[in-house]
Structure 1
Amino acid sequence: MAETLLETPLASLHRELGGKMVPFAGYAMPVQYPAGILAEHLACRSGAALFDVSHMGQAELVGEGAAGALERLTPADVKILKPGRQKYGLLTTESGGILDDFMVANLGDRLFLVVNASRKGVDLPAIEAVLPAGVRLNRLEDRALIALQGPAAVPAVATLAPAIASLGFMGVTSTEIQGIPVLVSRSGYTGEDGVEISVPAGQAEALARALLALPGVSPAGLGARDSLRLEAGLCLYGNDIDETTSPVEANLVWTVGKRRRTEWNFPGAERVREELDNGPKRLRVGLLPEGRQPARAHTPITAGGAAAWETVGEVTSGTFGPSLNGPCAMGYVAREHAADGTALDLLVRGKPLAARVAPTPFVPHRYAR
């Protein structure tokens, strides 16, 4: 039987704009528009690109003690988050794996959460299961989420909502855009400056049309979103992080709050502490293959050369980076092969492709600091 796909509030607009719709996390989503992935990627790097991310899960935690309740599932320091500020964090499992990555914002009277589309059916029940009396989780299923990314994004949208221009990186504010009430965060998933805009579902198309009418703004799909985030060295859940990877292995130790490292009272703390003390067996690294051929996910990573091939890891994400003008990848390798500059081979269709371990991001972040 064919899969019945959900649609976002912008589905008809995607089709009107010529979007090529594909299944993604249970939704019909545009992978690209007629301009193509390369053009959409470069438009985001040079101007502004609009992405529909309404498939993501939006929710809010309401009630006294909401931050402490959320800390039962994450090593992030949520209590330290000031009103009008947002942070990136991980939900962890009892075995020290990553249940999901998420964003949390302090809106003063409540916490606002954004979780991955493929994991919201796991994350939200897990959060509900640890809530004390007086704290409740509200699923915001009647809202859309639009990301406007690129160096021209904030100057463009600020012509419609001037308050956005004064937001710092990871700042959050409630405002209006052409009379539409929105929640705006200065954040994104491209490595560029930009905003993510939560909007009532019924007004999402009007907002998207208003944004697309701004000078220099063009639509972009999942293909460009993936190549942009990979050049920026950002993880994709299900590829680069999952329930088998720990925050230490994933090189995401910075998400573990300083206070949390003294309390050790989050799920999986024992594994995280052990790996911090003694080092993990493997680490997520950036990889730069030689030449022009990309190495895709699940490509074996080997060391020792043709004389003594030894599999030391696996690629988790790989593509041709349009801004980099060459291939780039991320993957996990045994710790002794994880130093920057280490020479490795990627077995692409059984043939070795020379590569070296390289620091990420491959393209410098340009967040508003």
Structure 2
Amino acid sequence: MREEDDPSISLIDEFGNNFIDFSPCLLNFFVGGGKAEEEEDKIPQGDHLIFELHSSLQDLYMGGSLKVVLYTGKEGFEILVSSEKVVDLAKAILEKSERKVRLTGLDARDSLRLQAALCLYGNDMEQHVTPVKAGLTWVIGKGSRVEDGFLGANVILKQLEEGSAVRCAMLFSSGPSPHGYSEILSISDEKIGEVTSGGFSPCLKKNIAMGYVETEYHKPSTEVKIVIRGKSNEDAVTKMPFVPTKYYKP
């Protein structure tokens, strides 16, 4: 992903700005859930940045916090801290939360973002997958939908007008948990796409998947088959997201 970003980052110099990459010396962790905001005030003060909702880049530069919507579909915040201090800070948060905050792995975050129908770069989208294919046209502001209005505009604007041959689809799986690159078939057993992400939904108590199919098959209630371990199971496309999101709205 970083290699694809570098050419765009280099454009910053053309506008007289400087870009400094601090990522090699920083680590991050995420605190999420319905009561995450209550725990934020308990975080010890120190040399770390908290990414939350709706502050400005100027605030971040001056030592404040940058508030953002995180990609789990749940409210929360992400903390950037130097690698030398990350363990001590994590221990302090756990202690002050009185067991309301607990450690978990990346699979938990992956389950949340899949339930929210959010794409993961490297799985569900990459440089050859446009927002039109991924069902993410809502991220392109109407004021930007002009020629040269953004990187890739020549391709994306054409797809907005003419459509895309393939589209992202959400699926329920009646069989085992789907995995990336599982084939998606039509009811007549013709290959129409493949799964890019799949897993068990803790909220719905069933297996779910995200993938790309030929456009005519991407609408909810379309019957399809997912091939898992050589066996096809009759499944169905559903609307996105799997679980309703409650994003912060100022």
Q: Is this a same-fold pair by TM over 0.5?
A: yes
| Selected match of 1:209 from 85, 91, 115 | 91
Secondary structure (helix, strand or coil) at the match of 2:168 reads strand
For residue 353 of structure 1, what is the aligned residue in structure 2? 233
- Judge conservation of contact 2:29–2:78 (CA < 8 Å) in 1: yes
Structure 1 letter corresponding to 2:73: G
Letter in 1 for 2:142: K
- Kindly provide the amino acid, as one letter, of the partner of residue 230 in structure 1: L
Task: Report the Cα distance in structure 1 between the residues aligned to 2:85 and 2:74, rounded to whole angstroms.
Answer: 26
CA deviation map 1:284-307 (0-9, x unaligned): 01111125x21111011111x3xx
- Alignment length (residue pairs): 238
Q: What is the aligned partner in structure 2 of residue 248 from structure 1?
A: 132
Q: 1:199 to 1:185 in 2, by over 3 A?
A: farther
2:39 counterpart of 1:156:
yes
What are structure 2's unaligned runs of at least 5 residues? none
- Report the identity percentage: 33
Q: How do residues 96-115 of structure 1 correspond to structure 2 at under 5 angstroms?
A: none
- Provide the C-alpha distance between the structure 2 equivalents of 1:207 and 1:277, rounded to a whole number of angstroms: 49
Q: TM-score, normalised by structure 2?
A: 0.85
Q: How does 1:155-234 map to 2 (within 5 A)?
A: 155-160=38-43, 170-172=53-55, 183-213=65-95, 214-215=97-98, 216-234=100-118
Q: Could you say which structure has the higher helix fraction?
A: 2
Aligned with residue 269 of structure 1, among 153, 161, 176: 153
Shift of 1:366: 2.7
Contact map agreement 1:239 1:317 (CA 8 A) in 2: yes
1 or 2, which has the higher strand percentage? 1
Q: 1:336 aligns with which of 216, 226, 231?
A: 216
Deviation string, structure 1 residues 242-280 (Cα, Å, up to 9, x no partner): 122111011111111212113443332122111111111
What letter matches 2:71 in structure 1?
Answer: Y
How far apart in 2 are the matches of 1:368 and 1:266?
A: 26
Q: Which amino acid aligns with 1:294?
A: S
Looking at structure 1, the residues matched to 71 and 154 of structure 2 have their Cα atoms a distance apart, in angstroms, of 30
Aligned equivalents of 2:148 and 2:6: distance in 1?
23
Partner residue, 1:112: none
Q: Distance in 2 between matches of 1:209 and 1:154?
A: 18
| C-alpha distance in 2 between matches for 1:265 and 1:241 | 21
Pairwise CA distance, 1:160: 4.2
Over aligned residue pairs, what C-alpha RMSD do you find? Answer: 2.6
- Aligned partner of residue 132 in structure 2, secondary structure: coil
Whichever residue aligns with residue 89 of structure 2, its letter is L
- The amino acid of 1:359's aligned partner reads K
Cα offset for 1:133? Answer: 5.1
Give the letter aligned to residue 30 of structure 2: A
**Contact 1:184 1:195 (C-alpha < 8 Å) held by counterparts:** no
DSSP 3-state at the match of 1:144: strand
Does the CA contact (< 8 Å) of 2:219 and 2:239 recur in 1? no
Name the CA distance, whole Å, in 2 between partners of 1:201 and 1:154.
24
Gaps in structure 1 of 5+ consecutive residues: 1-118, 176-180
Read off the aligned partner of 1:328 and give its amino acid letter.
Answer: I
Cα deviation code 1:297-349 (max 9, x no counterpart) = 1011111x3xx321111111011112220000000111111111101011112
Which amino acid is the alignment partner of residue 225 of structure 2? D
Write the distance in 2 (CA, Å) between the matches of 1:147 and 1:160: 13
Partner AA of 2:5 in structure 1: D
Quick one: structure 1 residues 122 and 281, their matched pair in 2 at CA, closer, same or farther if it must change by over 3 Å? closer
Q: d(CA) in 2 for partners of 1:278 and 1:186?
A: 33
Q: CA offsets, 1:156-176, max 9 Å, x none?
A: 2224489xxxx9x7323769x
- Matches for 1:1-369 after TM superposition, within 5 Å: 119-129=1-11, 131-132=13-14, 134-141=16-23, 142-160=25-43, 170-172=53-55, 183-213=65-95, 214-215=97-98, 216-291=100-175, 293-303=176-186, 305=187, 308-369=188-249
Counterparts of 1:161 and 1:185 in 2: how far apart (Å)?
Answer: 18
CA distance in 1, matches of 2:156, 2:3: 25
